[in-house]
């Protein structure tokens, strides 16, 4: 940053900040929250009870071929149940709202309108003078709670106490605005519709 300042390529007076979602390697199928895990466990319980009832019927009819087929299905359900119980434990221990199995740091984020993708949110702060990037970081939540993080990082990188940050309506959050204000960062955020 000091080179950019010395070369008069940045002023550190006005900084625009925004985020962009970068799709993770993790699919939605491999992203779980408590509700999804509970749904899978309830389905397994229901199917297990159905198969056990079917086994009871087959015992009466003594259909050994059918019994072995049902037992295989029950074993698969038991294996799946263990998998979802382990995921539930990991979710509880992490105290995160989601767990992703392929890309552990990725989260299901609102990308556009009502479209949800398992992604990262890349935040960038750009100086007004020549549109040079002065701060970046990656988060696993939406813009609403990201303003102070990128603004404070820009402030540290610029080694400048006061500047004006310009952000879109997705950043409108009173707690984040207050944090920036306390740090001496003037914020201009578009109001929500």
Q: Are 167 and 193 in contact, with CB atoms under 8 Å apart?
A: no
User: Per residue in 9-20, pLDDT tens?
Assistant: 888 899 999 999
Kindly report the pTM of this predicted structure: 0.70
Distance separating the N- and C-terminal Cα atoms of the chain: 36
Q: Are 126 and 9 in contact, with CB atoms under 8 Å apart?
A: no
**Distance of alpha carbon 128 from alpha carbon 135, whole angstroms:** 13
User: Per residue in 103-157, pLDDT tens?
Assistant: 888 888 887 777 888 999 999 999 999 999 999 999 888 888 899 999 999 999 9
Count of C-beta atoms within a 10 Å radius of residue 78: 12
Reference 99, options 113, 85, 115, 112; nearest CA is 85
Whether pLDDT at 67 is above 90: no
Q: Are 54 and 70 in contact, with CB atoms under 8 Å apart?
A: yes
Mean pLDDT of the chain: 88
Q: Are strands 31-32 and 99-100 parallel, antiparallel or unpaired?
A: antiparallel
**Distance of alpha carbon 116 from alpha carbon 139, whole angstroms:** 16
Token pair belonging to 149:
């993080």
């Amino acid at each position: 940053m000091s080179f950019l300042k010395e070369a008069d390529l940045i002023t550190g007076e006005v900084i625009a900040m925004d985020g962009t979602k970068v799709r993770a390697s993790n699919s939605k199928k491999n992203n779980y929250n408590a509700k999804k895990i509970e749904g899978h466990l309830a389905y397994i319980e229901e199917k297990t009870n159905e198969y056990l009832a079917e086994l009871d019927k087959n015992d009466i009819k003594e259909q050994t071929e059918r019994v072995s087929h049902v037992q295989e299905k029950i074993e698969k359900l038991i294996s799946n149940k263990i998998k979802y119980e382990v995921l539930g434990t990991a979710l509880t221990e992490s105290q995160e709202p989601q767990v992703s199995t392929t890309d552990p740091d990725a989260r299901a984020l609102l990308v556009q309108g009502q479209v949800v993708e398992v992604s990262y949110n890349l935040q960038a702060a750009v100086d007004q003078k020549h549109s040079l990037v002065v701060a970046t970081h990656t988060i696993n939540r939406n813009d609403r709670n990201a303003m102070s993080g990128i603004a404070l990082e820009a402030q540290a990188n610029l080694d400048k106490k006061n500047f004006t940050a310009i952000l879109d309506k997705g950043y409108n959050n009173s707690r984040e605005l207050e944090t920036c204000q306390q740090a001496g960062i003037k914020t201009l955020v578009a109001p929500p519709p």
